[in-house]
Structure 1
């Protein structure tokens, strides 16, 4: 048996010629009915993972592992030859990988750089090889989302409420009184599920709302997994018996979002957020400030009501328009419902308003702009209060805050989100078989992509699932069992994000009958 690293030093037939030929549209078809494959695996960054094999053929003499969809030397991780008891490594070996005797691959301390498609070649007698594909998904640990409401004290049949879940995760669900929210006809979710609007509000809407974010390996809710420590104690704070917090001699370092946890019976907890606003530019007094959350949780029987959040002083909420862009584009973060009498604007990156998150400020009267630590040389605060960011990248995505400074020394604060996406890469569609017999065979098609939104096309139109067709939970795998003559045709998978989309090359399915 010849392995890549061994044959590279000899003048025999190059090992690349011995790889199984793979044709552009038909792809490799397994020799057995049960497909040899790598079990797709999901992990949290920092974990050790094992990429297991399924349906390993008999009489295997060794294994060759690659990172990526090509079986080239530059993609080689390592080889294991049973006959010689030798383990050789390639350019993609990072020191964290190990091939086990059963052919599985261990990767220690995985990072997001490890995610993607992997290929394993099982080396058989007579220099034959069987190739399997699989995917490793690596996720960063979830951050606790922030839930903000436009108002939490409303009048039935008169007012509306808008709740916004600020998070970097794409999978968002809403809870009402700790159970999955059932949308009523008066409720509307935004396309990305980050914003819940109730209009008008009725008495049955009163209660506790949460947003829950998740990825395939973990989940967290708005206020779970919050740990409070004493590291932020400055010697100037005191908690009163009514739950309020006294801060003596406040300064600009004290401003930002504060959180309070109310501990209830049965180990239940309620969390509230509030703003402390300190503006040295406008001469804010710093002798004594008293920060109070609007109300403590009220328990009526078993019903727990939502803590009050910061409530904007106007009916139409001042905010930043949520914006999506492709990496490399110039974007403008616009504001809406700007209050009258504005004398200037201050922009921050993130959910805190402090010096370290300051991008820039603009005084309209003097048209003087000041820059902060978050200024990268690509941002401009415009006269209408919008923020221009040139050549955005994925590091620019997240929550932004704009402060509208009014002539009467008041301020209004708006939140918004910038989503930045990389251009969508063309997905790769592989089929277990492309020539099948009607009512006897089954076919499995797998769409390899890094995108989360996957749709299927049949003869260039949207695929209508029949009762014999089944999609996996992530929509990346389509199974047809059994195949019938009406299933013959061209299949494609289409992947997209909010700003771009692309399709795979077609795979043509032939049905014999």
Structure 2
């Protein structure tokens, strides 16, 4: 040993035995991390304090401190096992440690004696790790049944992992409830697995200087069948007899579900995702259910019922009415509406293209298959329609109702009563009319004597004997009613032309006599 090395060791020994009067902490809190085979820099935080008289670094792996390197008066002395592996800054006292091994993990302490000022000390932990590699995940099983099974995933890696991170896709797995981690995080346990746990699942192994990610692992989670639904090829539940109906069933299931069909609670000998019904008949109406089965989960799930109603097309619509003669105010009429074929029929009654409404005379049967009018009136005459319909077809029948009425509103020359004056030798025509179905027949009475059987009474040349009461009698042979109207005719004689001349001559004579003073009073 040289004289310089001996002096340095003496100084170190003295410092170790006596301790330091420490100033401020010379090292950051740490720890520092390094990789096997790499290098690490343990920097002080004092900056440059000028020349350092002494720098001492020691290492404690738990069995006691050993010298790493000491520097006295600028001359370094390396401890056993550190030769050619260390380098110390002469101004800051920072230590570079190279060719790291796992054995370099431990606590490093520094003692600095500057040329001026108080001694400085500090400690820092150095962790040396092997780089992470070969990160793998092993599952206790990858074939699972949703809600039934539990899986355990174990993450392992070469190197020196210190922590583990689990990912589902690109998101961190949140623990709690069904999802639990071991204390060191390397084992992930998922209970009552769900289909959303399928993955991909990753494990990331970490230490202070490196990390590694496993290959993705996928879990085969069998589930379902869920959300079993039946779709019809039409939005309506109603189908015409003889048509085709297609139903299809779907379900969320892994592996894919198997399907079977039932009608009105009875299983059909029909399997498969689609059910095709050709030339459907009324006995195929009912509630269709699709049953989905998963051969792995062993679960059965039924769809909601889908109703299918098969109806016959309406045809041969007909209205039947009364066969007897109808008389207004006396008779009643019943109209019945039926079809030769068709099912689930609803009916609507119309008169003259307008809906027929119930009243105190008009009543409908509960199913509207018939309408009763009692008593019938003249206003009930006309064409009636019955519109029969079901969700797949429509047919209309018509019927003309005839109500006999009258006569009524009998008038002569537009008036029910009246009078007129005619001159002798003039021509007079009296016209009689009445409202009636069938049309009324007429005859005339002149002063109580029957004279003519027609609606118009004509006197070609009036005489004084034609004056008097003229009565028109209207009758209806069906209703049996007779109604009359009266008219009084006056006859005025015309004066002869010679009567006028005599009266004029008499006037002239009177005037002449008056002029002669032969008539009138004297003086």
Structure 2 length as normaliser, TM-score? 0.36
Structure 1 length as normaliser, TM-score? 0.37
Q: RCO greater where, 1 or 2, for CA within 8 Å and sep 6 or more?
A: 1
